[in-house]
Amino acid sequence: MSHFDFDAVVKIGSMALIRRKDNDLDYNIFSRLAKDLRPGYILVSSGATEIGRIDYMKRNGNELKGDMEEIKADYAAQGQAVLMQLYRQFIDPRYSVRQVLVEHNHFNDHEKAEHIRKMFFRAANQNAIPIVNYNDPVSNEENRRLEIMALRQENAGEVVECVDNDETAAVVTQLVHAEKMVLLTSTEGIYRQPGDPSTLIEEVRADTAEELDAKIDEMMGYCEGASRVGAAGARAKLQFAKKPLEQGTMVLIAAARHRLSDILAGKVRCTCLQLNK
């Protein structure tokens, strides 16, 4: 792993796991991604809430009705089981799979963060692959907002919110000092003109963190919208990538339809960001 401690942190978004045309799970994506995972990788997987919704509809013929916070928790709890079942089905049977459900307070407390970091390292040394997701089933949005507000008042430094799994992936990447962070999406990367793959920005490099931040800020101006309600979109991916990039991590934003091994090997077109060494 060179001077890095982990090979890669990989994050996949909800919409990359769904076939939009028929509102069903994309089992090819699950299979393709899972088969390339191995110890030394950490997967941050979104999708529990949306997949839980789809699974519930398949079994009951209708969607849940009532309080949206309760519905989100119920869908997320149902979807977590489906997510883990699918990843376990397709990951190489030689490797163990370990679910890690996190909340914002785990990363804003040094002792809790250190506990998680050590668990990741044990997994790598015990032939296991951690799969991380925010613990939505037990998270109340109003309580989360109040807790984050209190943390901001107490701490002079930055507060980790983990509202978006792009942030969770970035925080985990920093925590374990990973060589690469891969953000898998439904597009090939960042486009200068949204929706036009011919304008893909393939490589962004700089000699200093300040220079790279400036280039990222320019790229953020090309981003608009998100793939689903509640998502922060490509702009957030770039913003959250800044801290891992400062520590020397290579950040790759790529389409989930490609094999992870090909993305990591530089065999497919994607957006690659890195500080010059």
For the ranges 28-37, 112-121, 145-154, the lowest mean pLDDT is seen at 145-154
Residue 100 near residue 116 (C-beta atoms within 8 A)? yes
Q: Note the pLDDT of residue 233.
A: 74
Higher pLDDT, 120 or 193: 120
Return the residue matching tokens 């942030």: 167
**Check whether domain 6-275 has CATH 3.30.470.20, yes or no:** no
DSSP structure string for 161-185? --SSHHHHHHHHHHHHTEEEEEEEE
Q: Note the pLDDT of residue 156.
A: 61
Domain spans of the chain? 6-275
Distances (CA, A) of 49 to 56, 173, 185: 10, 24, 17
Contacts of 24 (CB under 8 A, 6+ apart): 18, 54
pLDDT band, very low/low/confident/very high, at 245 (cuts 50, 70, 90): very high
Residue 194: exposed, middle, or buried by beta-carbon count in 10 A (0-12, 13-18, 19+)?
middle
pLDDT band, very low/low/confident/very high, at 105 (cuts 50, 70, 90): confident
Higher pLDDT, 7 or 157: 7
State whether residue 277 is helix, strand or coil.
coil
Q: How far apart are CA 208 and CA 217, in angstroms?
A: 14
pLDDT > 90 fraction of the chain, expressed in percent and rounded: 73
Q: Note the pLDDT of residue 140.
A: 75
Q: How far apart are CA 54 and CA 23, in angstroms?
A: 7
For the ranges 3-7, 127-131, 244-248, 254-258, the lowest mean pLDDT is seen at 3-7
- The residues pairing with 271 across neighbouring beta strands, listed in sequence order, are 253
Helix residue ranges, H only, the chain = 27-36, 48-60, 68-90, 104-107, 110-125, 141-154, 165-176, 209-220, 233-246, 260-264
pLDDT > 70 fraction of the chain, expressed in percent and rounded: 95
Mean per-residue pLDDT over the chain, rounded: 90
* Residue pLDDT, tens place only, 21-72: 888 999 999 999 999 999 999 999 999 999 999 999 999 999 999 999 999 9
Return the residue matching tokens 């916070």: 69
Residue 226 has pLDDT above 60, yes or no: no
**Token pair recorded at residue 230:** 């509640």
